[in-house]
């Protein structure tokens, strides 16, 4: 088969009822995408990369989550037409590092006066302070439970809560 650089073969039928779909339309099961680049809020870096990656990671509400783009390649032996390497948009810029909300809430309720919730989230310095003061004589313990429930106490590394327990 004599095809051009975009994997378009002149004798092949690529109509609406064809078995071939544009490569950029393939679902994620059939493509391999590069990791999202973290530009850490640097707009110039994002623009210089061709708007690949994320301006920032994280966000608790869906309106706060930045949507990024990354470079994708069709997996070997998958047939489609068009360029087999392309930019795909619409990836949520979220990072998960194994922190579960329910686990943290249980730590906070049961062992929060010893700072276990803050140790679990990676806030080591404040966790030691909380442990030495027995949860700030109970006040810090209650405040942390409220902060956790309202979404104001998050993992130190900026990651999001794991979606499933």
Chunk the chain into consecutive blocks of 10 residues (it has 165) and report each block's average pLDDT, rounded to whole numbers. 55 66 89 91 89 83 84 91 90 87 93 93 94 92 93 85 70
Q: How far is CA 83 from the centre of its chain?
A: 26
Kindly state whether residues 68 and 110 are assigned to the same domain: no
> CB-hemisphere CA count at 13 Å for 26?
25
CA atoms within a 13 Å half-sphere pointing along the CA-CB vector of 12: 16
Q: Residue 87 domain-assigned?
A: yes
Residues 93-104 as b/e (b if ≥16 CB within 10 A, e otherwise) read bbeeeebbbeeb
Let me know: does 120 contact 102? Beta carbons within 8 Å: no
pTM: 0.64
**CA angle, 155 as apex, 149 and 156 as ends, to 5°?**
135
Q: What is the pLDDT of residue 98?
A: 85
Co-location of 80 and 46 in the same domain: yes
Predicted local distance difference test score (pLDDT) of residue 1: 45
- Kindly state whether residue 12 falls inside one of the protein's structural domains: no
Count of the separate structural domains present in the chain = 2
Q: State how far the alpha carbon of 56 is from the alpha carbons of 37, 40, 123, in Å.
A: 9, 5, 21
Residues 27 and 74 placed together within one structural domain of the fold: yes
Indicate whether 154 belongs to any domain.
Answer: no
């Amino acid at each position: 088969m004599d095809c051009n650089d975009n994997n378009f073969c002149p004798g092949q039928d690529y109509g609406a009822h064809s078995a071939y779909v544009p490569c950029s339309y393939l679902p994620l099961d059939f493509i391999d995408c590069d990791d999202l680049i973290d530009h850490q809020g640097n707009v110039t870096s994002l623009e210089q990369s061709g708007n690949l990656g994320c301006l920032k990671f994280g966000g608790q509400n869906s309106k706060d989550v930045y949507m990024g783009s990354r470079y994708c390649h069709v997996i070997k032996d998958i047939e489609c037409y068009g360029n087999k390497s392309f930019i795909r948009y619409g990836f949520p810029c979220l990072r998960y590092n194994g922190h579960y909300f329910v686990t943290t809430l249980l730590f906070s309720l049961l062992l929060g006066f010893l700072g276990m919730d803050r140790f679990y989230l990676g806030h080591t310095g404040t966790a030691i302070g909380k442990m030495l003061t027995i949860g700030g004589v109970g006040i810090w313990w209650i405040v942390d439970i409220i902060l956790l429930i309202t979404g104001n106490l998050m993992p130190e590394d900026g990651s999001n809560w794991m979606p499933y327990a």
